[in-house]
Amino acid sequence: MAGVIERKQTRQIHVGGIPVGGGAPVTVQSMTTTKTADVDGTLAQVYALRGAGADLVRITCNDVEAAQGLAEIVPRSPVPIIADIHFQYRLALAALEAGVAGLRLNPGNIRKPEHIKAVARAAADRGVPIRVGVNAGSLDKDLLAKHGAPVPEALVESALHEIRLLEEAGFTDIKISVKHSHVPSMVASYRLLSETVDYPLHLGVTEAGPPPAGLMKSVAGIATLLLEGIGDTIRFSLTADPVEEAEAGRRLLEQLGLRERAGLDLIACPSCGRAEVDVIAVARQAQEALEAEKLPIQVAVMGCVVNGPGEAREADIGIAAGKGKGHLFIKGQVVRVVAEDEMVEALVDEARRLAEEGVEARLAAADAAAEDLAAAAAADLLEARGDANRAAERRAAVAEIAGGE
């Protein structure tokens, strides 16, 4: 199929029952923001993250109370839990005892090789993978002194040093991240790492900030690498509710064709002088209503019937506004014409039927007169408003230039 991303083949590990790397679907991760000792509050957030599309959830294990909280959270969690460890290697051992499915170690924080190897041996005994999580903001001071700045070479060197220690302990159940807050540096770091190792890679732009800028940074970095076939699992690191991270990650993978659509994908025209309705308002109403239905479909909201159904014929279902009417279409074929004030309600109703019965059944149930009504409405609109795109005029101008001497 044209446009299919050719992914780099990496080793496969398993985080709980979730495969990562080795051709497995790219997974979405996020991290809780609650105090881990607050077991019920943390679990509530884990469940919300799972509902938003997270496959794996990371939880901080920064003190004994947090490790104790993990012992209660892990058996009740709907997804595998990864413990985030900083500085104290004994908390990694405690998290393993609590039953976590994965560990994340920051090479810039746990310095002593014997401590890292002790964690590796304990993780190996339990079949638990370790993410070597390099972060530009907490790079080892010696590497900073050597390279002068957290450049891609420094991040990759940090990761390779940690991997060597794990491998010396006989541990290879590893995935790696080299996160940077500067998008070009993040991309360069992962490219270099991908050329160097075949371990699965966890992608992210660290400290991306709040939306919308944080979303733009994350998409710029993560999507660039995914399109190159680099990356096995991702996290949007936003200054926001972590549910937004999970939703953004899932939607990005769906848009890239790396995961099947699990929720609504709404497309809408930018509107023009021909529009008979407030496209922005209708699109917003449709999105709110359809998201509540949790239907995994693509829906189009178009401002007029002249080009709407044709332009959006790849959408599963859509609505195009006519004069006082809404023209409901499935795969570009108009199936019903409804009153303007019933457009969103009709769209939701037909979307439900489409999900239950399928495209062929709904096309077979189409109103026989709907296509003719839509064609007549389009002709009337063109006569009244003219061609907003000036197609004939522009075609003539192009032909004159192309045919000139």
131-190 confidence digits (pLDDT tens): 999 999 989 889 999 999 999 999 999 999 999 999 999 999 999 999 999 999 999 999
Architecture of domain 265-385: 2-Layer Sandwich (3.30)
Write out the H or E segment, with its range, that includes residue 402.
Answer: helix 391-403
Burial zone of 373 (CB within 10 Å; 0-12 exposed, 13-18 middle, 19+ buried): middle
Res. 370: pLDDT tops 50: yes
Query: What pLDDT was estimated at residue 307?
Result: 65
Give the pairing type, strands 13-15 and 18-20.
Answer: antiparallel
Beta-carbon neighbour count of residue 172 at 10 Å? Answer: 15
Q: How far apart are the first and last CA of the chain?
A: 41
Residue with tokens 């360069």: 188
- Position 303, amino acid: G
* Of 98, 159, 88, 87, residue with least CA distance to 130: 159
Instruction: Tell me how far apart the alpha carbons of residues 324 and 322 are, in angstroms, rounded to a whole number.
Output: 6
CATH topology of domain 13-255: TIM Barrel (3.20.20)
In terms of Cα–Cα distance, which of 105, 109, 138 is closest to 123?
105
- Tens of pLDDT, residue by residue over 93-145, are 999 999 999 999 998 788 899 999 999 999 999 999 999 999 999 898 899 99
pLDDT-derived band at 254, boundaries 50, 70, 90:
very high
The residue ranges of every structural domain in the chain are 13-255, 265-385
Same fold? 13-255, 265-385: no
What is the DSSP secondary structure assignment for residue 137, as one 8-state letter? G
Look at residues 277, 255, 259 and name the one whose alpha carbon lies nearest to residue 267.
255
pTM as predicted: 0.80
Nearest to 240 by CA among 211, 272, 269: 211
Over residues 380-399, the mean pLDDT reads 68
